[in-house]
Structure 1
Amino acid sequence: MDKNTVIITGTSSGYGKVIAREFAKQGWNVIATMRSPEKETELTKLDNVIVTHLDVLDTASIRTALHEGISKFGKIDLLINNAAHGLVGVFEAMTSKQIRDEFEVNVFGYINVIRELLPHFREVGKGMIINVGSQGGVITFPLMSPYHATKFAIESFTESISYELSSINVTVKLIEPGGASTKFFSNAQTPSGVVPNEYNWIVNNTGMDELYDTYKDKLSTLEAVGLFIYKAATDGTDNFRYLIGDEMKSFLAIKRQKSDEEYINFMRNQFMPKSSTER
């Protein structure tokens, strides 16, 4: 029986790398894509894996990667859109370019790859797309407004195309990971502009450390996320939304159980525990 083939974006680190390792381990052909494949030393050693250049903002590079993968393995069965960009800080200090770049990678990057792959799926008569979203597309935290905006956009985009693509036998799934042992914050870009002094209070007192201590035992490992996504791809269902992590489920349960006003106040207390008189 011919092996299935997956193409994955953003495999140089984090989720992307462990997803590529898991699918290779499970016997799939893997097209592991990244912007700088010449720097990769681990995935290049795995059987049935090709590591190739793909920049989600460069249509020519997307087409080249797809052509290389199809030429090597005969077909592509699954796309996992994973490449993402982080931007963390005070909104007022972010430049227009930084915000646009966030949308270019996190939204238009997904769209670009899907658009280029769909003709192949129509030709072979089937396919699957898995978009890696985030808990940040369901709930929000302070100092991450453009990132959340992109992930909420991916939520709605993915849900909408799932209806129309079902008509051409393409299954669409959305993965919503909670926190995991990624280097998201250390790798995230920070605002290029000057942060006004008036924001010092929230920047220094968001309660993120306390929140992390509360939920750190519920965070998923990267390996668990990789295995979870493999199982979602191969569970034989057309289920759409998959949640990963007890931390994510805890927040979502609170959001669903409380009124909108109660939930907003709960989140404010998580991140802004001091009263205004203590500023």
Structure 2
Amino acid sequence: MPKTVLITGTSSGVGYASVDLFAEAGWNVIATLRDPDKVPDFRHADQVMVLRLDVEDISSITAAVDAGIARFGRIDALVNNAGFGQYGLFEALDRDRIQRQFDVNVFGVMDVTRAILPHFRAKGGGVIVNVSSGAGIFGLPMISAYCASKFALDGFTEALSYELASQNIIAKLVIPHGGIDQTRFHERSAADFVSDDRLKDYDAFLARTRAMFGKMAGGRLMSAGYVAGVVVQAVTDDSRQLRYFVGDDARGFIKARQHNSDEDYMAHMRGFFEADMPG
């Protein structure tokens, strides 16, 4: 019997590319997305079941899991891909915006995972891959809420992996760092950038940091398909590897975080974001 994967956030980007790659590998795919009116065309439609799943709506999560099992008889892997980035100075973000960032990127992942765990335990195992970000390894200005949510996701996944190992369920992280093409993630996030005219004291910092992000965004983009290939690898390689980093680390953020002392890491990061600061 072919194996089955449930993927969240499949309307575009990494989620969309993952659907086709899994189907090409012979998997059945439960492709879920928030808006059923925006169902994309998948190349292997006979192997793909498209369902509404909004990670902020627990009833839609339960319904999608149940419908997928009813259709294919089993689910062998879960890819938590749905997410978004809230951009803006922390001081400009109200609590509701930060709450929604965590509702989608953290609590949504937890709710989808919780919904599928009884099925995995009953069948004797499964694989969970959470798609995170380099912003869950290193902090960046103007996306503090997003970083906080991805740091939480990283810690949650590692802690969960120890619990689930006792049930033959493997939890992993795929961590893209750098820009990804074929996705509207940054476009949507930039459009939702929160500003506050009362915070003029930050103007010089904002101008400098936006220029830095502009240079960073101008670098080579990874294809969504390339990242999706690592997602497929993480699901299928039968390893206990926890973190899969995807990107060339041109700015050295990952290397600095992993291999330097905390003092040297902070000096590296401040060289990017605190140059010419007073004091």
Q: What TM-score results when the alignment is normalised by the length of structure 1?
A: 0.92
Structure 2 CA distance for aligned equivalents of residues 9 and 192 of structure 1: 30
Name the residue aligned to 1:141.
140
Cα drift, residue 265 of structure 1: 2.4
Deviation sequence 1:184-215 (CA, Å, 0-9, x none): 321112226545111111111112123344xx
- One-letter code aligned to 2:45: L
- One-letter code aligned to 1:64: A
Percent identity at matched positions? 40
Structure 2 CA distance for aligned equivalents of residues 265 and 94 of structure 1: 27
Cα drift, residue 255 of structure 1: 2.6
Structure 2 CA distance for aligned equivalents of residues 94 and 44 of structure 1: 41
Range with greater deviation from structure 2 (148-157 or 252-261): 252-261
> What are structure 2's unaligned runs of at least 5 residues?
none
The reply to whether residue 223 of structure 1 matches residue 225 of structure 2 is yes
The reply to whether residue 209 of structure 1 matches residue 211 of structure 2 is no
Name the residue aligned to 1:246.
248
Asked if the contact 2:88–2:195 (Cα under 8 Å) also holds between the matched residues in 1, the reply is no
Name the residue aligned to 1:233.
235
Structure 1 CA distance for aligned equivalents of residues 216 and 96 of structure 2: 31
Structure 2 CA distance for aligned equivalents of residues 166 and 235 of structure 1: 16
Range with greater deviation from structure 2 (253-262 or 22-31): 253-262
> What are structure 1's unaligned runs of at least 5 residues?
none
Q: What TM-score results when the alignment is normalised by the length of structure 2?
A: 0.92
The reply to whether residue 191 of structure 1 matches residue 194 of structure 2 is yes
1:163/1:248 CA distance change after superposition, 3 Å? farther
Name the residue aligned to 2:83.
84
Range with greater deviation from structure 2 (200-209 or 179-188): 179-188
Cα drift, residue 6 of structure 1: 0.3
Deviation sequence 1:87-124 (CA, Å, 0-9, x none): 01111111110000001100000000011111111111
Q: How many residues align?
A: 273
- One-letter code aligned to 2:200: N
Matches within 5 A, 1:44-193: 46-179=45-178, 180-181=180-181, 182-188=183-189, 189-191=192-194, 193=196
Name the residue aligned to 1:273.
275
Structure 2 CA distance for aligned equivalents of residues 15 and 161 of structure 1: 23
Asked if the contact 1:135–1:178 (Cα under 8 Å) also holds between the matched residues in 2, the reply is yes
- One-letter code aligned to 1:183: R
Deviation sequence 1:7-26 (CA, Å, 0-9, x none): 00111112111111211121
Cα drift, residue 125 of structure 1: 1.2
Range with greater deviation from structure 2 (193-202 or 150-159): 193-202
